[in-house]
Structure 1
Amino acid sequence: MNIGNQKVVSITYKLQEGDKSGATVQEVDSNEPFVFLFGASQVLPDFEVNLMDKTIGDSFEFGIKSDNAYGPIDDNAVVDLQKSMFEVDGKLGEIVKVGNFLPMNDQEGNPLQGLVVEITDEHVKMDFNHPMAGKDLFFSGEIIEVRDATAEEIEHGHAHGTGGHDH
């Protein structure tokens, strides 16, 4: 069975920064493969393009330029927030440290992650760019399973079961 829309795909992969010789960012093995519903906008569009029509046992290697991955670094996504937003009883929470990612919400209440870049007497500088923004990506791996999605998976827009979403 070939990969295409409304197929549940299970893969192993290695993600490297830049190219095949770049630093490893993430590795997913067959013990806990990455499982997703193809065509449901769950992965980068170029990721799907490079897996289209592959089948069980096929290996893959491809790069995705930063503009087609997580985009360039957006200077407007780096902001100074009032330090008082992070204080409890006049003290910074223990998690508020340079280098830590903090769960936050935007003005509409949508969840997002921000990286603490700097802490001053009055502000906490947060970077809300995706951690891989501005970076080219290189993927290599293997297709370990391809199956038809169930009607429920199609309706919900994601894979269910082992490696997928459990309700």
Structure 2
Amino acid sequence: MITENKVVTIDYSVTDETNQVIDSSEGREPLKYLHGAGNIIPGLEQALAGKQAGDVFEVTVVPEQAYGQYNPAHVQKVPADAFQGVDNVEVGMSFTAQGENGNFQVRVTAVEGDQVTVDANHPLAGKTLTFRGTVQEVRDATAEEAEHGHVH
């Protein structure tokens, strides 16, 4: 049964409010995570608690239990010369920026002359997500996995 410090393996797909597939393990390795270590979004982790190998799941997760609400304050314009060493900054590019609380990811959402608009919101912020899948395996975490907080 899925409880804290169990390594869980799931096959899954995730769709947004329009039923568009955002991500899926189909054709790839299933997802393995350490339950209780915060390695997956809280809403999915809570929904999987108590399930066991062979169980099928479907859970809809609101933004507050997924990637948070979209925050317009996380969007800002910066001068193009802030992107040192990049000849051609284009929409869709991602960069690591430094802030007061450490590094964070930003995506370029617009380029207008010498101004670049960047968005630090997670791409799935503000979205309600539906996860469907099957629990493939549940096992005890090794001492090292439990200590490190992730699957090895």
How do 1:94-109 and structure 2 match up within 5 A? 94=88, 96-98=89-91, 100-108=92-100
Give matches, 1:31-50, under 5 Å: 31-50=28-47
Correspondence list, 1:11-160, <5 A: 11-18=10-17, 22-29=19-26, 31-88=28-85, 92-94=86-88, 96-98=89-91, 100-108=92-100, 110-160=102-152
Shift in alpha-carbon separation, 1:109–1:45, aligned structure 2, 3 A: closer
Distance 1:101 1:136 in 2: 24
Whichever residue aligns with residue 14 of structure 1, its letter is S
Q: Unaligned stretches of 5+ in structure 1?
A: 161-167
**Percent of matched pairs sharing the same residue:** 36
RMSD: 1.7
2:38 partner SS: coil
User: Amino acid of the residue matched to residue 148 of structure 1?
Assistant: D
Cα distance in 1 between the residues matched to 2:49 and 2:32: 15
Give, in angstroms, the shift of residue 110 of structure 1: 3.3
Separation in 2, partners of 1:54, 1:152: 24
> 1:108 deviation in Å?
4.2
What is the TM-score with the length of structure 1 in the denominator? Answer: 0.84
* Residue in structure 2 matched with residue 164 of structure 1 by the alignment: none
Deviation at 1:87, TM superposition (A): 4.5
After superposition, the Cα gap between the structure-2 partners of 1:84 and 1:141, relative to the gap in structure 1 and judged at 3 Å, is: same
Question: CA offsets per residue over residues 114-152 of structure 1, 9 Å max, x none?
Answer: 221111223110011000011100000000010000000
- Distance (Å, rounded) in 1 between the aligned partners of 2:140 and 2:60: 27
Q: Matched residues in 1 for 2:41 and 2:59: separation?
A: 13
Tell me, in whole angstroms, the C-alpha distance in 1 between the residues paired with 2:120 and 2:23: 20
Offset of residue 81 of structure 1: 0.9
**Distance in structure 2 (CA, Å) of the matches to 1:57 and 1:30:** 19
Give the Cα separation in 2 of the matches to 1:23 and 1:117.
21
Provide the secondary structure at the position in 1 that maps to 2:147. helix
Shift of 1:8: 0.2
After superposing on structure 2, the runs of 4+ consecutive aligned residues of structure 1 that deviate more than 3 Å are 108-111
TM-score, length basis structure 2: 0.92
